[in-house]
Amino acid sequence: MTPDEPREDPGEEARFRRLLAERLPRHAAPAHLRAVIAALAAPPRRAFWWAPALSALATAMVLGLVALPLLPRTVEPDPLRTLISAVLSQHARSLMWGEARPEAVPAALPRVMEQTGIGLSWLFQGDDEIQLINAEPLVVEGRRALALTYKDTEGHTLTYTLLSWAGMTLPKQGRVKIDGYQPLLTQMEGWSIFVWKQKDLACFLISDLVSEEDLARFKQVFLKVRQGTEPPPQS
């Protein structure tokens, strides 16, 4: 020891050392710390070649699920609904530009039936409450159709459209029972529409009778049309 180094009483130093050694708390490392450090030391698990590919695939799937609702839909539209929309368009066209020629209808009917290929043994030609005012051939969604236009005493215009569609199926939901018949009654774009199938014909009756009271009248018109229409017997 150099002369300028501090000197201490050996007895005092010994007591002090013992005090520190015996009475100063020694903190033992918690067990989990050893485990954590051992894990630090462990070599990293060998990555398999497919691990990143799997991760990328999982990420892509998640992103796909998230983006799915935003993708353009290529779902096949409901053919019946498409057809109803087309029939409605024709009804609107008939309202705006159709001609009322009740006197010419009887003479025109055979020709129109021939043009459309829809020959009817019978059809409803009107009564005191509703009048057949036009008959014309149409093409609806690529199908030839026969459109008959009626007008009731209150000025409501109704279009009765028939087209050949043997494969048409009607959903059970939305059917109404009218004197033994079960047509589909639906409303679209502010119109009431009856849809039913009669032999191989798909039939649509459209009107602006939408209120509850008007619907009762509309059902009566349906009955008249339905009972007054008779396709030819199937060969």
The residue to which tokens 């029939």 are assigned: 87
**How many Cβ atoms from other residues are within 10 Å of residue 114's Cβ?**
11
Q: Check residue 43 for interaction with another protein (CB under 8 A).
A: yes
Note whether 68 binds another protein by CB under 8 A.
no
Asked if 38 touches another protein (CB under 8 A), the answer is yes
> If binding is defined by CB under 8 A, does position 35 make contact with another protein?
no
Binding region for another protein (CB under 8 A) out of 7-15, 99-107, 139-147, 204-212: 7-15
| By CB under 8 A, residue 36 contacts another protein | yes
Asked if 111 touches another protein (CB under 8 A), the answer is: no
In this structure, are residues 94 and 159 in contact, taking their beta carbons and an 8 Å threshold? Answer: yes
Q: Which stretch binds another protein (CB under 8 A): 33-41, 49-57, 138-146, 201-209?
A: 33-41
Instruction: Give me the DSSP letters along 19-63.
Output: HHHHHS--PPPPHHHHHHHHHHHSPPPPPPTHHHHHHHHHHHHHH
Q: Residues 73, 127: contact at Cβ < 8 Å?
A: no
HSE, CB side, 13 Å, CA atoms: give it for residue 78. Answer: 7
- State yes or no: residue 17 binds another protein (CB under 8 A): yes
CB of 15 to another protein, least distance (A): 4
Binding status of residue 33 toward another protein by CB under 8 A: yes
19 belongs to the binding site for another protein (CB under 8 A): yes
Tell me the three state secondary structure of residue 121: coil
Residue 23 as a binder of another protein (CB under 8 A): the answer is yes
Q: Per-residue DSSP letters for 173-215?
A: TTB--BTTB--EEEEETTEEEEEEEETTEEEEEEES--SHHHH
Asked whether position 28 contacts another protein by CB under 8 A, the answer is yes
Stretch that binds another protein, among 28-36, 105-113, 122-130, 167-175 (CB under 8 A): 28-36
CA distance linking residue 53 with residue 58, whole number of Å:
9
Nearer to another protein, 26 or 172 (CB): 26
| Site of interaction with another protein (CB under 8 A) | 1-2, 5-6, 8, 12-13, 15-30, 33-34, 36-38, 40-41, 43
